[in-house]
Amino acid sequence: MAISSLPSKYGIGTFGREAYNFIDFLSESKQSWWQILPLGPTGYGDSPYQSFSSFAGSPYYIDLDMLIEDGLLSENEVTTLDWGDDPTKVDYGKLYENRLPLLAKAAERGLAKDREQFDKFISENKGVADYALYTAIKKHFGMKAWLEWPDEDVRYRKAEALEKYSEQLAHEIEVQEYIQYLFFNQWDALKEYAHEKGIGIIGDIPIYVPLDSADVWSAPSSFLLDEKNVPVEVAGVPPDNFTEDGQLWGNPLYDYDQMKADGYGWWINRIAGAAKLYDVIRIDHFRGFESFWAVPYGSDTAKDGRWVKGPGIELVKTLTNWFHDTRFIAEDLGYPSEEVVQMLKDSGLPGMKVLEFAFDDPEYDAFCPHKYVNNCICYTGTHDNETLMGWKAGADPEIVEKCVKYFGLNDEEGFTYGIIRGGMSSVADLFIAQLQDYLELGSEARMNTPGTAQGNWQWRMEPGKADRELAEKIAAMTVLYGRS
């Protein structure tokens, strides 16, 4: 359940009352884990996997009612703005237009009030300071990507230019830093409440970062860029059964030779940032550590890419040894080569099994529960998949019939709950279902369709849907299969 999908009066889910109510719902449902999507600030396309920073949080998740309670905003300032009129969809355009200026106003009022705690927060979060400087300069240059900033010296991070803009934009930088201070204060309080209720947070760390990000601007030597800081090749995945042209992600690729030379410090810092947010970290596109699809920069599709060897188990072991108290999940979906299978085995991390994939292709029959081992996480589907009801409506009838026979599905129990039962009764160490599947929703509730740029990440749960009746239904099955 994405934070953005929680109900809210102000256009998008936040860290406010509804998030606390959802944690209560999880507790009543006898659940132990809440998996969320990445929390970083997003740009064009609104994808949480394309964030401006690995170390900052999305201002959209800051709860406005809490800011009213703290005296940083008035109720009139918040309620008179247009947050959209569809409670089931996020309108990111309205959020961008209205929420950011409102938070800047709150920051103006809060900086003096919270100066001591604020200064301490910034001194302990260098990544946030880098993001604030990057954002302030980006605003100064009309929100252009950093490669298009007209001042070449600041593009290349020359010391005099950084000092110049740090002084010139000092107030805007502090505003951006204070917004992050609000984000982390609210998130830390919510996470603490989840822990009190016995709920851990599973977070996602995208394997790549966007070119237009504070990450690449502040550490260009960690990426495969030319002398003008333009990528040589970019990330994607090759054509498969789902996408004829493959997926062209467009992210810059890592210079793993350079990273290895300094002991993978960039990755260590990145995981350290994620470990502050989450109890368990799911590494997105884990197979990219073994080998990755490199597409010539400027290509229209991912078809003309090539496989390039990655750092493999060396980087994985570096991270798991460094963060020996942090738990990880490997998103090992897509192209399960022998080398990837071996890397997962050598890592000791649990991989993923997606029930929707179990019947689509003979190559994926390892996703059938009777083939599971304990050390895996079973999912009905992920944010990139259809809901179970959406999958049923769009799948080949023969595949659906095979699924019905396999799980012994019947009308009394219902299609989705029969498949959920199949996952819960498996030997997988952990079972996770999207809330949309517990609500038996169709394609209208799909979170993301890979390969499409518009219309994603918008679904929101209607108020009151996560109620006591649903909690009792989930709890009964959870207890039945010893997962409470």
Measured between alpha carbons, how far is 144 from 204 in angstroms, rounded to an integer?
A: 27
CA distance 301 to 315: 29
Distance in angstroms (rounded) separating the CA atoms of residues 302 and 236: 6
Catalytic residue selected from 233, 331, 356, 360? 331
The pLDDT of residue 447 is 98
Residue 256 lies in a domain: no
Cα separation, 440 vs 437, whole angstroms? 5
DSSP lists the bridge partners of residue 201 as 34
- DSSP type of residue 393: H
What is the domain extent for residue 121?
A: 1-188+462-484
* Whether the Cβ atoms of residue 360 and residue 312 lie closer than 8 Å to each other: no
Q: Looking at this protein, which amino acid is placed at residue 342? A: Q
Name the strand (E) or helix (H) holding 203.
strand 200-205
The owner of tokens 């929101």 is: 460
Query: Looking at the domain assignment, is residue 195 inside a domain?
Result: no
Contact 315, 264 (CB under 8 A): yes
Residue 317 lies in a domain: no
Q: Is the pTM of this model over 0.75?
A: yes
User: Can you name the residues that pair with 286 across neighbouring β-strands?
Assistant: none
Strand 280-283 with 327-330, pairing: parallel
State how far the Cα of 12 lies from the Cα of 3, in Å rounded to an integer.
8
Assess if residue 305 is contained within a domain: no
Whether residue 384 lies in the annotated active site? yes
| 476, 66 contact by CB (below 8 A) | no
What's the confidence (pLDDT) of residue 73?
98
- What totals of helices (H) and strands (E) does the chain contain, helices first? 19, 11
Question: Could you tell me the CATH number of the domain that includes residue 133?
Answer: 3.20.20.80
For residue 174, being part of any structural domain is answered with: yes
Q: Does residue 232 form part of some domain?
A: no
Residue 360 has what pLDDT?
A: 79
The reported pLDDT for the residue numbered 363 is 65
Catalytic residue selected from 46, 130, 177, 284: 284
Run of H or E including 431: strand 430-432
What is the pLDDT, as a whole number, of residue 364?
A: 63
Residue 43 has a pLDDT of: 86
C-beta separation of 408 from 425 below 8 A: no
Is position 384 within any domain? no
Q: How many domains does the chain have?
A: 1
Reduce the DSSP state of residue 353 to 3 states and report it. Answer: strand
Could you write out the DSSP letters of every residue in 226-254?
-TTS-BSEEEEE---SS-TT-EEEEEEPB
The arrangement of strands across the sheet holding 430-432 comes to 351-354, 376-379, 430-432
Tell whether 319 is covered by a domain.
no
Residue the block writes with tokens 């409670």: 87
Say if residue 272 is exposed, middle or buried (CB neighbours under 10 Å; 0-12, 13-18, 19+): middle
Structure tokens belonging to residue 457: 């990440």
pLDDT of residue 394: 95
> Is residue 119 among the annotated active site residues?
no
Q: Exactly one of 245, 384, 429, 440 is catalytic; which is it?
A: 384
Tell me the per-residue pLDDT of 153-172, one tens digit each, with 9 for 90 and over: 999 999 999 999 999 999 99
Q: How many CB atoms lie within 10 A of CB 189?
A: 13
Smallest CA-to-CA distance from 18 within 76, 87, 103 is with 87
- Dump pLDDT digits (tens) for 33-63: 999 999 999 988 899 999 999 999 999 999 9
In the predicted model, residues of the chain with pLDDT beneath 70 are 242, 363-364
